[in-house]
Amino acid sequence: MTDQEKLEDFTQDFYLTLYNRLLDDITTDADSQAEVAKMIRWVNMFLDELEQETDNDGQPINWVYLRENGVEIGTIATVTDTFDLPTGALRPVANPDRPLTISQDGSAVSIWDVVDPNQITNRNEYYTRPQRVTYVNQKLVFSRRLNDTEIGGTVNTDIVNIFPRLATDDTTLFDLPIPRQLLILGAAKNSSLPDIVQGGLSPSYTQKYGDLLDGHKANNMQTADASEAVTDDFSGIGGVGF
């Protein structure tokens, strides 16, 4: 299918969800094409919302399929360097098991905990390293001045990218493993708000959307958490006496 055909097909599902009917002559009718354009805008606005989703602890959801590990951010030139996140990056991954590294000739010379901005000076039991790095206005900011051993080093960290936005010539979003129904209901619940008095359907959208979102979050967390090996502890076993 071409990008246009994918957009028209998605619009038919979106329109069916909203009005329980399909658009006529969607490829040639001007009014139907206007509905395609509106659908694109509703979905893209919904993606802004999806990027800000949090888990039960209030931490940002890092969608696995938007994640890149070990991304090279830049090379340190001065002791006060800050770095812009790469174009298209939403934020670095703040996880104690996935620190930022500064490397020289492929070997790490320092390791930094990546933390949310409000944790830069607060101790947290999960973070044990003396140095930390956070992100402010899409810039990486280090908790101390960099030193001579780090000058010239390469900064690498994991990042989460933004969702690709729909456009008339770009349907990359549809290639991601995000439930199609989640996109449809997420956009539908927002677009139907002005009509809630007429139909009273938004609560239904919201409930179905909430269930799908919770399931998608749970599935994401199963693959996003660091793996931990559970082993038996035999340290309490002593020798055998005769």
The angle subtended at Cα 152 by Cα 149 and Cα 153, nearest 5°, is 75
Other Cβ atoms less than 10 A from the Cβ of 4: the count is 14
**What pLDDT, on a 0 to 100 scale, did the predictor assign at position 239?**
47
| Per-residue pLDDT tens over the stretch 18-30 | 899 999 999 999 9
Q: For residue 67, list its beta bridge partners.
A: 160
Distance CA 73, CA 61 (A): 22
**What pLDDT, on a 0 to 100 scale, did the predictor assign at position 128?**
65
| Per-residue pLDDT tens over the stretch 106-144 | 999 999 999 987 665 545 555 567 899 999 988 999 999
**pTM for the structure as a whole:** 0.81
- Structure confidence at residue 229 as a pLDDT band (50, 70, 90): very low
Looking at the predicted structure, is the pLDDT value of residue 166 above 80? Answer: yes
